[in-house]
Amino acid sequence: MKILNGRELAGFIKERQAHVVRGLKQSPKLLIIRDSDNPVIMKYVGLKKRYGEDIGVEVEDFCSSDYEKIAEKIASANKDDNVKGIIIQLPLSDKEKTDELCNMIAPEKDVDGLGASGKYDSATATAINWLLAGYDIKLDGQKIAIVGRGKLVGAPLYKMFVNSGYDVSLFHRGSDLTKLKQYDIIITATGVPGLILDDMVGGGTVIVDAGTASEGGVLKGDVSDAVRERSDLGAITPVTGGVGPLTIAALFEHVIK
């Protein structure tokens, strides 16, 4: 069984990005905005800070639970020529504020691709494309299932695949997931630990697990341990180091552009 190691691919991309940043007249800056100290959020903020340090991009971490202050910070950063990218670290405590705040970001600085008129594709959707291409996994002629309709992964990836003419179906956590057994490639991103069970997956299936949740302080994916223990899968991402490292690489690729 093939392990889809995104960390390895991201390493090559990072080297190239560091070289590009060294050649710029001015180092770009990324602003991360969050409204809580949720452990999953803090993990990803920390990874982005370290990645930025490694390639020479300044990363500012702004936290406030006051949405008026967040709106003011976005407006200020939109006008700041030093800030080349702005992201809202999701999920927000008040999820109903997500669209409103993402749409406040200037389209050319919306490096996560989450605003209605953003210039870039979703960083996570881009990362999944990179991961599959990097391991030479063909999408043409394959039945593809996307589980999860979220703003970060499911919705933008489904749109991307439909536009590319692939045979793709969109599921959510309440769907009949036993139907997944009919699919060649399963990409899941619901944040529900262990949602994808052994009897939902056929032999030879390629699985990309982009779901992340904290359970008892431990990061968990959507795919159950029973699935991961199988030897008849075509390929699967590891519990950590699959899509995540490439998502960060894609994010900084947009900042550099």
Structure confidence by residue, pLDDT tens digits, 165-190: 999 999 998 899 999 999 999 999 99
The owner of tokens 């529900």 is 192
Phi and psi angles of residue 78, each rounded to the nearest 5 degrees, phi first: -60, -30
Kindly list the distances between the CA atom of residue 236 and the CA atoms of 2, 89, 132, 154, in Å, as whole numbers in the listed order: 7, 26, 11, 18
Of the residues 76, 100, 117, the one at which a domain ends = 117
Same domain, 106 and 129: no
CATH code of the domain covering residue 142? 3.40.50.720
Establish if 57 belongs to a structural domain.
Answer: yes
d(CA 152, CA 210): 10
Helix, strand, coil percent content, the chain, rounded in steps of 5: 40, 20, 40
Q: How is residue 3 annotated by DSSP?
A: E
Token pair of 40 as six digits: 């999953």
Query: Which pLDDT score is estimated for 212?
Result: 79
Query: Which pLDDT score is estimated for 44?
Result: 87
Specify the number of domains making up the chain: 2
Same domain, 132 and 233: yes
d(CA 107, CA 227): 40
Same domain, 128 and 221: yes
Digit-by-digit pLDDT tens for the chain (257 residues) are 899 999 999 999 999 999 999 999 999 999 999 999 988 789 889 999 999 999 999 999 999 999 999 999 999 999 999 999 999 998 899 999 999 999 999 999 999 999 988 899 999 999 999 999 999 999 999 999 999 998 889 999 999 999 999 999 999 988 999 999 999 999 999 989 999 999 999 999 999 999 977 667 677 899 999 999 999 999 999 988 899 899 999 999 999 99
Same domain, 139 and 42: no
CATH code of the domain covering residue 32? 3.40.50.10860
Establish if 232 belongs to a structural domain.
Answer: yes
- Three-state DSSP state, 220: strand
The two most distant CA atoms of the chain are separated, in Å, by: 55
Question: Edge-to-edge, what's the strand order for the sheet holding 2-3?
Answer: 2-3, 235-236, 206-209, 185-188, 143-147, 167-171
Judge contact between 189 and 220, C-beta under 8 A: no
Query: Which pLDDT score is estimated for 53?
Result: 97
Same domain, 190 and 98: no
The owner of tokens 């979703």 is 122
d(CA 257, CA 239): 30
Establish if 132 belongs to a structural domain.
Answer: yes
Range of the domain at 147: 123-244
Query: Which pLDDT score is estimated for 214?
Result: 67
Q: Give the tens place of pLDDT for each residue, 71-84.
A: 999 999 999 999 99
Of the residues 92, 117, 142, the one at which a domain ends = 117
Same domain, 136 and 226: yes
Establish if 80 belongs to a structural domain.
Answer: yes
Of the residues 101, 117, 133, the one at which a domain ends = 117
Tell if the pTM clears 0.75, that is, is over it: yes
Same domain, 233 and 177: yes
Establish if 26 belongs to a structural domain.
Answer: yes
Same domain, 222 and 170: yes
Same domain, 148 and 77: no
Query: Which pLDDT score is estimated for 18?
Result: 98
Establish if 198 belongs to a structural domain.
Answer: yes
Kindly list the distances between the CA atom of residue 60 and the CA atoms of 52, 57, 77, 81, in Å, as whole numbers in the listed order: 10, 10, 11, 14
Same domain, 47 and 130: no
Same domain, 221 and 152: yes
Establish if 87 belongs to a structural domain.
Answer: yes
Same domain, 227 and 132: yes
